Amino acid sequence: MEDSKIPKDSRDWVVGLAAFLNENAEVEALRVDASHRKFVVATLGEVDLQRLEARLTETLRLIEKSSIGSGPVGVGFESQEDGAFELKKPTCLTAPILWRWRELEILESEEEESGEEWRLLAVLAGACAVLGLSGWALSSVASVPAWIPILFFVGAMFAGGWDALVDVREGLPKGELDIHFLMLAVALGASLIGAYAEGALLLFLFSFSGALEHFALYRTRREINSLFDAAPKVALLRLKDGGEKEVPVGSVVVGDVVVVRPGGQFPVDAEVVSGKSAADESNLTGEANPVPKLKGDTVFSGTINLWGAVEARTLRPVGESALQKVIRLIREAQHLKAPSQRFTDQFGTRYTVGILGLTALMFFVWWLGFGIHPFLNTENSFSAFYRAMTLLVVASPCALVLSIPSAILAAIAWGARHGILFRGGAAIEKLAEVDLVALDKTGTLTTGEMEVDSVESFPAGREDEAIQLAYSLEAHGSHPIGRAIKKYAKQLGLKVEAVEEFKAMSGQGVQGRLDDTLCVLGRRELLESGPLADWIKDVPEPEQHFVENWMLKGDLIARILLKDQIRTESKPILARLKQMGIRTVMLTGDRRGAAESVGEVIGIDVVRSGLSPEDKVSAIRGYANEGYKVAMVGDGVNDAPCLAAAYVSVAMGARGSDAALEQSEVVLMEDRIDNFMAATDLSNRARRIIRQNLSIALGTVVLMATAAIFGWIPLSIGVFAHEGSTVVVCLNSLRLLFAKGPAKAMIS
């Protein structure tokens, strides 16, 4: 349908959801009831619903903030009588027969939800405490009728159990029994045997620990959402007549020129076309040092222009900017569960039913088996029902259920704040298991920003022609060598010539035709296996710290020599990995001499050079077959096959790389190798805290359950132990938020 037929009041929704449809290949159609926030998708085959829900939630967030552009829809649109509408991708007539329609659960703003809930629970816990203390004080006054303190205790239980009651009312019709049901059952049971004070105490501590739990989640999500809040809302456009106009950032399209003054945010990912400045990219990378921005450099949405006015040409729509891709990644990570978290998720309705069954069984065992009075406490023994209520409290898995997700969320939040992004909890746990790290050389162990040192032509005097040909072939590439050639050519004021039949030769170079003549730019091996094999033998290889590329066209042969700088921080990082018992291997396509010179300087264990992408994948699989759990650290674009083959895939310096964000489980936004060490330290800390939490939770359940079975503890002690362990687990997980940053991780 034509875009003009879309109602104006629905256009933002349609444009935004059309973008969602186009970005998710597994989704064929989308039915939308915007007024009731109901969304149903048609899919083909198996899909990850959690991931789709997270992506749709983020799309809606952008729509509501007017952060999605107003470009063409590009999909079919059908309006319904009730105001709903349907979007469909172009497809054949028979395809809809195979569609499977699924309703998506839209996740509300978790930060706001947690913030409101912990405050409400705190108020209810406070009211419960006041009423409970009043009842306890009145119960000690002889002149006060007995029913008055009971009334206060009942009021305290209503306040402390209100949130649990709401959850139980929602879950019971679905057949769901959870921890909230157990707590209410214990409070009711305590009231039936006259233990009103214990019931009030239980629900006070339950609501208080619930408030602390939601406060911990609120703090964690606030750390994450501090990045989201950096998303710019408006942009200043340079008009064709030379004027300026402020517009919503969502209306900026590729090719528009934006003006950014000192102190302002770069509204989109763009290339500087005039002016010079420096950018604060800490919200993306965690690195506070200013990054110089000159003509031809890329600036990223949400980063801050520090001192110079610049104009920049938009490279991609705002919804595809580096910042929005990072936001989507973090949103998805919060809902992708770790293996151990999936294990604790099993403690749901079945566990609750099991505990209720065990409690009922033990009641009859104490009563009929051991002759303990069913409901009457004596000076020497608690009643069977009292013991059952105590067992029910201490066996509830509150702390166990919280032990893992609280730590995972805190780790994700810390990483996001420091430029380390995890694709879910599994990546956090897996990184701590790695015992071999394979690293790409260029851009990982070296800076990756190579510079052209010199150009030699054969015959001499045609150096500018050679570099212009190389510039034309590399004009659209993103490899470090190509970037260096483009930068050098721009400095010389050279222009790009049109290349036809362009082709990239995997691991060897590139080729194309200019003026019907074949041009090739690549490694020395291309000459050694062709008609120039005898001639190239007489040309000495450059010194080890140089990388050479050869340019061939007709009667022109030229050599371009480039240099790359070794990362000075690599050596202590590799030494520390070795101390941790982790083996290090360099996998590179560079020639042996250059690779070994780098390996010798930084102290890497094994250097494997001259590898094609297929050779790198084979190397990683070989180490895996030997029993190693391999982490591959690369640039996320050229190393995509290796990253896919590794046990854990880690991409470095991937601010603008779609391949890195989609392929890698861990993304280091700042291209610094010490961030990998920080990620490894974070993974180890998170795993230690998870183990501590599980030990605290399980230990408390086992110890207190044993004591309850033998009748050694009163209900009040069981309540303190149960709720206390929940509080300790939450606070223990929060420690991850206050760990040292990457720069300090090396010193600790």
- Cα torsion angle, 151, 153, 155, 158, sign: negative
Bridge partners (DSSP) of residue 86 are 31, 78
- Residue 100: strand, helix, or coil: strand
Give the single-character DSSP code of 146.
T
- Full DSSP string of 357-413: HHHHHHHHIIIIIT---SS---SS---HHHHHHHHHHHT--HHHHHHTHHHHHHHHH
Q: How far apart are the first and last CA of the chain?
A: 61
Candidates 178, 269, 440, 564; catalytic one: 440
694 within 8 A of 419, measured Cβ to Cβ: no
User: Rounded to 5 degrees, what are φ and ψ at 257?
Assistant: -100, 125
Bridge partners (DSSP) of residue 629 are none
User: Which two tokens mark 255?
Assistant: 């090719």
State the Cα–Cα distance between residues 88 and 42, nearest whole angstrom.
9
Q: Is the peptide bond before 459 cis (omega within 30 degrees of 0)?
A: yes
Count CB-CB contacts under 10 A for residue 171: 15
- Full DSSP string of 494-521: --PPP-EEEEEETTTEEEEEETTEEEEE
State the Cα–Cα distance between residues 711 and 698, nearest whole angstrom.
20
- Residue 33: strand, helix, or coil: strand
Lookup result for tokens 């195979």: 98
How remote is the C-alpha of 678 from its chain's centroid? Answer: 16
Q: Could you tell me how many residues make up the chain?
A: 748
Type of residue at 395: A
State the Cα–Cα distance between residues 55 and 107, nearest whole angstrom.
10
Count CB-CB contacts under 10 A for residue 229: 10
Instruction: Give, for 323, the enclosing helix (H) or strand (E).
Output: helix 322-333
Phi-psi region of 45 (alpha: psi -120 to 50; beta: other; left: phi over 0): left
Q: Could you give the angle at the alpha carbon of 486 between the alpha carbons of 481 and 488, nearest 5°? A: 95
318 within 8 A of 302, measured Cβ to Cβ: no
280 is catalytic: no
User: Which two tokens mark 547?
Assistant: 């990388």
State the Cα–Cα distance between residues 591 and 587, nearest whole angstrom.
11
15 within 8 A of 71, measured Cβ to Cβ: yes
Type of residue at 246: E
- Cα torsion angle, 272, 277, 282, 287, sign: positive
- Full DSSP string of 245-274: EEEEGGG--TT-EEEE-TTPBP-S-EEEEE
Type of residue at 50: Q
- Residue 655: strand, helix, or coil: coil
Q: Which residues form the catalytic set?
A: 440
